[in-house]
Structure 1
């Protein structure tokens, strides 16, 4: 167990030891110039969703079908696993770990990072000329510490996206509306800079309820189309009824992926790149003890239409498709930032 003061000093040294700190913007992310880059977190999407659980067969079917559908639409997909610093909750620690390239596994480390000027993926893209956006539909109040650290140009939360539909369990905004609103505001306008965004898909956040149905994308509107579907279902108590919780958790992951695949089919773009990953496993009543079940691993997938993007990550040895095999590479989540900045930096 780390002592608080000793860890604070250790982490301060780690924050300062940054090989990318002084890299000028014109030397960052040159392999992604002109592309919209979406870092998409799927809430509570862990390894157990892909294998070894009562709910994994349904998720596997969706991932395999989604791989075929995306391939037919011209997308390449590569997948592996990351080890998350958290389990069952505290998603912000995982997000900060992926963004900063540091192991953020405590509230103390999180606060220390937020008070620093450590380069995040978001700030690296901003330095390189991208418009930067956070889409965090779970937020219901201002987030000044996030604005100070990440320095994004725009933030969307549950209060400013014009959503007029019902809530579904925890999620004040369902995933389909989150993606459609983001498209309308950030991807559809012409004569704009490329966008880098962190988008949080939260329909799979506990406590789980039946997810809403997918509707045609041109009918999403202000979200009122979702009224009268599944919003009246009571959230399941995962401790009291873990079997029902596991069922609804699996359905929620299927919904998030079906929504994302449908979005990419409906709105294809050769100049769009997605990095889609889980933040952590769901609570142990659903996923099992991390020491004996899926551990802390979460799936991660790169999705792109441009073959040059896939060539840039060839030496990662990730597997084709949305479903990583059991023996796929496993990195600490803190490796992601440096891997992205290196793979898509200048060559030769």
Structure 2
């Protein structure tokens, strides 16, 4: 029991470093927390105080391990550590993705299991500390001498900076470091909030009269189309890029045959691997929205968005978010979209494809039938294409446009693909299906444009972020392709000074802008 207790406490103390490095060599460390907790438990004579300290120490050790695990998960998906200030709502959204992919019952069972494991870990560590305190308390003098020697050794190791695994000092203090890091995050968050508030308040475009807004697009229907997870890796430098590139080149030829012109470049997204709404708000507001805190801040203000500019200039505005199942409050209160479409109000009666409740082709078909293909005032819409959302399986395939109907034509298709639990056992399989999802989404876009052939349509098509690390690789950049498509040569001429490249496939030499620069340059290009 004593050996088991010692191992339990030791592993709990070094667990953050073990999780962070992923190397068993991270066990070769001396945790300061163990020494401090045991000395305190040996010296204190009151049983209730010892129990309170044991429980508190256990909570701190387990919390540090949980934060390390969250950091690991967030780094592998969204490319940054977990933010203790604003990351909790992102966990809720992550649970939603798991629920859509694995089913609500499976996701709930996983959540319950994790909760039980956390409680069990706290109980086990606290009980182990109390057992060790009782054993060492019987030999108090020898125990304190041993603790003093180990503490001296820890100080020496800390001074020389000894490491067995890079970035993980042998003189470990993971829980103390995690607590200090949490405090620092709170302080930095407070400073960032004040700076961001000042940036959001300064906006000369909000004061322009309607007559000076978007005059170069009068009479056009303008669609801002976000392609989920459409990153640079989809078109350059990866084994799966060749398939996407082939679809884009074929699309170029088809669009040219129908009189379209396109210009393309790259934007640096404010997010990576997920949390798409940060990218959407960055493009719309002209502010660098790279955290949930900043998103919550800006959406509580009256910041002038692209959709506001179009609405002020006389366009009717619409959003289509097929991943939503209920009204989007921020779509009304902040973006001021006049109409909001989601998975529940577009008449879709077909199957879901994991996270993607509505296939992209159906999104286009509904928009054409109910908005673009009927007499209407000029429309500005933000459209989310979600078929390329993780887990990228099963995937839909195109059907004849006149067969789309209410979507029930897609009923057999989900069974033709593999479930995420099978696909995600192989990173190569995940990457392959990611590429195929982008091929489907871009293929449906080209088919829509060439089938319905609208001379008054202008599209801004871009990715929201790079896909998760399992696809993009460790250390990938945040660049996403962006294209402007129109049949009207004057629309393309307006952005001639941008030096964007012809076609839908930007080369490695294409211009790269930060995503927050787009709003102001777009409003300037299409102003008076």
| Range of TM-score over shorter length | over 0.9
Tell me which residue corresponds to 1:199: 383
Cα distance in 2 for residues equivalent to 1:146 and 1:109? 17
Q: Deviation digits for residues 116-162 of structure 1, max 9, x if unmatched?
A: 10110001100000000000000122221231000110000001000
Work out which of the residue numbers 7, 15, 21 in structure 1 matches 2:206: 21
The question of whether the paired residues in 2 share the 8 Å contact of 1:212 and 1:231 is answered with: no
Tell me which residue corresponds to 1:345: 527
Tell me which residue corresponds to 2:398: 214
Work out which of the residue numbers 298, 321, 339 in structure 1 matches 2:503: 321
Cα distance in 2 for residues equivalent to 1:196 and 1:158? 20
Work out which of the residue numbers 412, 424, 431 in structure 2 matches 1:228: 412
The verdict on how the C-alpha distance between 1:231 and 1:28 changes in structure 2, with shifts beyond 3 A counting, is farther
Matched, 1:4 2:189: yes
Q: What TM-score do you get using the length of structure 1 for normalisation?
A: 0.96
The question of whether the paired residues in 2 share the 8 Å contact of 1:168 and 1:231 is answered with: no
**Alpha-carbon offset, residue 318 of structure 1:** 0.4
Cα distance in 2 for residues equivalent to 1:167 and 1:233? 12
Q: What TM-score do you get using the length of structure 2 for normalisation?
A: 0.64
Cα distance in 1 for residues equivalent to 2:192 and 2:291? 10
Q: Deviation digits for residues 259-279 of structure 1, max 9, x if unmatched?
A: 000000001112110000000
Work out which of the residue numbers 79, 100, 116 in structure 1 matches 2:301: 116
Tell me which residue corresponds to 1:56: 241
**Alpha-carbon offset, residue 219 of structure 1:** 1.4
Matched, 1:128 2:313: yes
**Alpha-carbon offset, residue 342 of structure 1:** 0.4
**Alpha-carbon offset, residue 340 of structure 1:** 0.9
Tell me which residue corresponds to 2:441: 256
The question of whether the paired residues in 1 share the 8 Å contact of 2:500 and 2:511 is answered with: yes
The question of whether the paired residues in 1 share the 8 Å contact of 2:227 and 2:464 is answered with: yes
Work out which of the residue numbers 226, 231, 250 in structure 2 matches 1:46: 231
Tell me which residue corresponds to 1:303: 485
Tell me which residue corresponds to 1:331: 513
The question of whether the paired residues in 1 share the 8 Å contact of 2:353 and 2:393 is answered with: yes
Number of residue pairs matched? 342
Gaps in structure 1 of 5+ consecutive residues: none
**Which is helix-richer, 1 or 2?**
2
The question of whether the paired residues in 1 share the 8 Å contact of 2:331 and 2:340 is answered with: no
Bigger mean CA offset, 136-145 vs 268-277: 136-145
The verdict on how the C-alpha distance between 1:339 and 1:231 changes in structure 2, with shifts beyond 3 A counting, is farther
How large is the RMSD of aligned CA atoms in angstroms? 1.2
Greater relative contact order (CA < 8 Å, ≥ 6 in sequence): 1
Matched, 1:276 2:461: yes
**Alpha-carbon offset, residue 232 of structure 1:** 5.6
The question of whether the paired residues in 1 share the 8 Å contact of 2:235 and 2:241 is answered with: yes
Q: How does 1:282-297 map to 2 (within 5 A)?
A: 282-289=467-474, 291=475, 293=476, 295-297=477-479
Q: Deviation digits for residues 188-217 of structure 1, max 9, x if unmatched?
A: 121x21000000000000011142221111
Cα distance in 2 for residues equivalent to 1:68 and 1:186? 27
SS in structure 2 at match of 1:74: coil
Cα distance in 1 for residues equivalent to 2:325 and 2:416? 21
Work out which of the residue numbers 318, 324, 327 in structure 2 matches 1:139: 324
The question of whether the paired residues in 2 share the 8 Å contact of 1:80 and 1:318 is answered with: yes
Cα distance in 2 for residues equivalent to 1:231 and 1:26? 53
Tell me which residue corresponds to 2:218: 33
Gaps in structure 2 of 5+ consecutive residues: 1-184
Q: How does 1:183-194 map to 2 (within 5 A)?
A: 183-190=368-375, 192-194=376-378
Cα distance in 2 for residues equivalent to 1:15 and 1:319? 32
Cα distance in 1 for residues equivalent to 2:502 and 2:392? 30
Bigger mean CA offset, 201-210 vs 250-259: 201-210
**Alpha-carbon offset, residue 233 of structure 1:** 3.0
The verdict on how the C-alpha distance between 1:210 and 1:58 changes in structure 2, with shifts beyond 3 A counting, is farther
SS in structure 2 at match of 1:152: coil
Would you identify which runs of 4 or more consecutive aligned residues in structure 1 move more than 4 Å?
Answer: none
The verdict on how the C-alpha distance between 1:170 and 1:231 changes in structure 2, with shifts beyond 3 A counting, is farther
SS in structure 2 at match of 1:173: coil
Tell me which residue corresponds to 2:158: none
**Alpha-carbon offset, residue 21 of structure 1:** 1.1
Work out which of the residue numbers 67, 80, 85 in structure 1 matches 2:265: 80
The question of whether the paired residues in 2 share the 8 Å contact of 1:76 and 1:304 is answered with: yes
Cα distance in 2 for residues equivalent to 1:29 and 1:286? 38
